[in-house]
Structure 1
């Protein structure tokens, strides 16, 4: 495919990035996710058009997504906190292990090959979709989050897998908190803060790891595409409060089903791209 060099093509790219930002922002507020579950697949499919080598496409998509999650997560978490539904005690108990897990996940995101990262993304997204789509609203593994080493493992797992996938912690945090007794709105609200704990160390690590590496697109800082960040982040910030308002006004069961359908579609698209 030829490189799109016309102004019309560049405008189309900018419009697509801005639309991605709006969509990811709504999801960040609505579902407690950082928007990466949208941004990663979009960038993964756009980057080849601009001649970015296949070997680095997923790394750039993951890193750029994590960078955009930082401002979006701040806005989303502040809005949810203001509504009084965020479980601060639970958040504080999970944060240290989640941070360490994010560091470990960042190392894996650097050393793993692009197709492996794609496969992890598609598989985990599908598992989460199945859980959210078929588990009833009142289904619980237990009525509260387990203490001790189990809680540490849960926090580290959320942080690690999220960093590898380039997503906010809500994609995994919402179903996990739901399984351990949280109502869906409380899970969405508390998980909205996970993105910041995960994305800050992961973004820094991927910036440092990608410095000087060949094959990156122009105007990249490490593995982070600054063009993608500049186009996506502002639109996402604008749209996040819209999602927060929706999260507190629609049916919890509908909220869970919407989340499941979107994740299933995302997983299918990523798997198709991988197999193709």
Structure 2
């Protein structure tokens, strides 16, 4: 099946189901869609399925964006119920974030595979340094800006998130904490940003990957009904149930941790993601 021995496929399925639970837990805990976990795992899955290198990373990212749609929704509503989501920021970012995601999806249609990994490395590395080694003095201002600058930040977050397959939590958490917002509020607000990114992002990657399937007719993982463009239905089906169930657990855990512990945990998580893709680029 899929060119993989049944024994190996069984373990892959078990691993994907478990990874879905981890993705959901991290989505609730850190206010991220879980893409930073899902993308590396999907990348390995598609390697086993002999997906060519030039389309393996965008297929992983597009699938990740589709996976985090329900996870982001579940995480956002759980955080909103606790009353700490900043809806003003989400309203300011709504249009520019979606526009950025659309541009990122267009870039994905033509970009080389290593570009996606490099974006991962840079963003995860900067975020990890800020969280692990920063302090209260690492602050640009006491509150977030407004006007065109705020909209420009939203656009940049949309572009980079769509190239990483994430819900924007890494970037928005970094931005909001630089502007004096508590980490718990940054996490909660970031969960709403995941909705703005994941839905148009998944649609954009379907568009970006649609003509690529015709270029690789022998790659089963890229063909319908296994995939629609750069979105793998196998990955979506296996990830979503456990990720949705685990997201509220992560939310409860986030609100039980101190600010310092949450920042250290998030920083270590991002550093591991950064190292994972750095090794991939260099080898």
- Scaled to the shorter chain, the TM-score interval is over 0.9
Summarize the alignment of residues 1-276 of structure 1 with structure 2, pairs less than 5 Å apart. 3-6=3-6, 8-136=7-135, 139-214=138-213, 215=216, 216=219, 217=221, 218=223, 219-276=226-283
Per-residue CA shift, 1:95-144, capped at 9, x if unaligned?
11111111111111222111221122122211111111111257421011
CA distance in 2, matches of 1:16, 1:77: 26
Partner SS for 1:193: helix
Q: Does the CA contact (< 8 Å) of 1:37 and 1:171 recur in 2?
A: no
Q: Comparing 134-143 with 243-252, which one deviates more in the overlay?
A: 134-143
Per-residue CA shift, 1:33-60, capped at 9, x if unaligned?
0000101111122211111101100010
Partner SS for 1:233: helix
CA RMSD after TM alignment: 1.5
CA distance in 1, matches of 2:193, 2:72: 8
Partner SS for 2:256: coil
CA distance in 2, matches of 1:137, 1:183: 11
Structure 1 unmatched runs, 5+: none
Could you list the runs of 4 or more consecutive aligned residues of structure 1 that deviate by over 4 angstroms after TM superposition? none
Query: How far is 1:212 from its partner?
Result: 4.3
CA distance in 2, matches of 1:192, 1:137: 23
Partner SS for 1:155: helix
Query: How far is 1:270 from its partner?
Result: 0.8
Q: Does the CA contact (< 8 Å) of 1:168 and 1:198 recur in 2?
A: yes
CA distance in 2, matches of 1:202, 1:41: 18
Per-residue CA shift, 1:132-173, capped at 9, x if unaligned?
111125742101111112111111111110011110111111
CA distance in 2, matches of 1:160, 1:209: 14
CA distance in 1, matches of 2:135, 2:260: 8
Cα 1:237–1:137 shift into 2, 3 Å = farther
Partner SS for 1:111: coil
